Amino acid sequence: MSHFTIHTSSLFDPKLKLFRPNVSVTVDPVSGLIVRVFERESTTLFPELLPPGDIDLRGKYVLPGLVDAHTHIFLHSYDEAGALQQKRDESIGERMVRAVNHCRTALLAGYTTYRDLGSEGMQDFDANVRDAIARGLTPGPRLFVATKVLASTGSFECRTENSAGGHCLPSSADAVDGVEACRQAVRRRIAAGADIIKFFADYRRRIMRYPPAQQHPYIAGVLHPPKEPNPDYMVFSKEEMQTIVAEAKLARCPVSAHCATLEGATAAIEAGVSTIEHAYFTTDEMFEHMVEKGVILVPTLAIAERLHAKRFDQILSGVKRAHEMGVRLACGGDTGTYPHGENVRELELMIQAGIPVGDVLEACTIGGWEACGGDLCGRRFGWFEEGAQADIIALRGNPVEEPGALREVDFVMKDARVWKIDGMPKGIF
């Protein structure tokens, strides 16, 4: 098929953070790119019959495809099973099938790009799913993957049962200690196909003394635990973090840091990471440092809503303050810990925090592209211009006036291929 054009009456421009009237977008299905964006004169009569292949999205609200900047394709909702149970009890085959289904669901929900931050016990299979989608073997968002995360010995996801006579859990992390080991680990991840390096700046390190609720059913819980039985502590030294970032930069690879403490976030920012994930404890000084260093915040409010309910209002206030101080935001809810397809919950919570809808939509498009590495990721997506990927979605309602409209995705195009039209899947096998 030759070039064809999508005609709109209301198109969101994330660079302007507003909807523009009477814009048409011409795309090339061979390259998957936008080849022209132009405004129609409002006085020009629109033909009753469109040219063959053209798509009429007038009357709908058109946006760039959305970007979820923090996902886990191999996880399904914790309401169904905890992470430990999923890794322990579900076969590799089952988890691969679930991941394929999750990717299809996300695409139909309007998410044309996923930044997948850890394979959760599935080794480097996230890179394999990425490549299968890229080769057209199965539908799904464009994936940018981390493969295994980096953590120090005995920190993230250490075992909770005795190895003598028990089964070892699948390793979720590449456990490394010392500057040279960190350097080698980054090289291993890149060789395994990682687009992004993710490391844990801090984590709960007393898991063996005070096991979490997600454990074997035959292990009794601790009867009288302290007020904070398993707090977050630093995982890497500052020198180790700096080495991870420096080695990743040699390969032009962005770096993501899991930060649950102010101490961890401060050290990661100083090391020069690209993004901070979570950051549920913040200060103005930290935000100033992020702005100075150009670090993006991915607040993951959707999982915080569930896991940190007691101080969730404080977390919302922190994200609003970050926005007020000029911190760059990207939208990612730790999707997978809650259902794929419900990704938009993160946008709803950012709006609830008091961030203007236009800014939230920009964070979920251009902000997501920047979190994936910007130009380092080898392509441009998240806005409408010549040479950008032809990722286009349409909503039935106006999300500025009705945030719930983000859940009513009527049309999905990724790389100039239509996957959903008039609310119905197309070509999903």
pLDDT at 165: 52
pLDDT at 219: 55
If residue 190 lies in a helix (H) or strand (E), which one and from where to where? helix 179-191
Instruction: Pull the structure tokens for residue 325.
Output: 């101080």
383 class by beta-carbon count within 10 Å (0-12 exposed, 13-18 middle, 19+ buried): buried
pLDDT at 85: 84
Residue 159 has pLDDT above 90, yes or no: no
Residue 168 has pLDDT above 70, yes or no: no
Instruction: Pull the structure tokens for residue 396.
Output: 């039935």
The length of the chain, given as a count of residues: 429
List the chain domain ranges: 4-64+384-425, 66-377
- Mean pLDDT computed over 149-159: 80
38-42, 121-125, 320-324, 357-361: least confident range = 38-42
- Mean pLDDT computed over 72-80: 96
Instruction: Pull the structure tokens for residue 130.
Output: 């990425």
Rounded-to-integer distance, Cα 317 and Cα 353, Å: 6
User: What is the CATH superfamily name and number for domain 66-377?
Assistant: Metal-dependent hydrolases (3.20.20.140)
Residue 251 has pLDDT above 90, yes or no: yes
CB atoms < 10 A from the CB of 127, how many?
Answer: 20
Q: What confidence tens digit (pLDDT) does each residue in 263-302 have?
A: 999 999 999 999 999 999 999 999 999 999 999 999 999 9
- Mean pLDDT computed over 303-321: 96
Output 233 or 240, whichever has higher pLDDT: 240
35 class by beta-carbon count within 10 Å (0-12 exposed, 13-18 middle, 19+ buried): middle
Cα 218 off chain centre by: 35
Rounded-to-integer distance, Cα 372 and Cα 370, Å: 5
Reply yes or no on domain 4-64+384-425 having CATH 2.30.40.10. Answer: yes
β-pairing, 55-57 vs 4-8, is parallel
For residue 241, name the pLDDT band (cuts at 50, 70, 90): very high
For residue 166, name the pLDDT band (cuts at 50, 70, 90): low
Output 406 or 207, whichever has higher pLDDT: 406
Output 421 or 208, whichever has higher pLDDT: 421
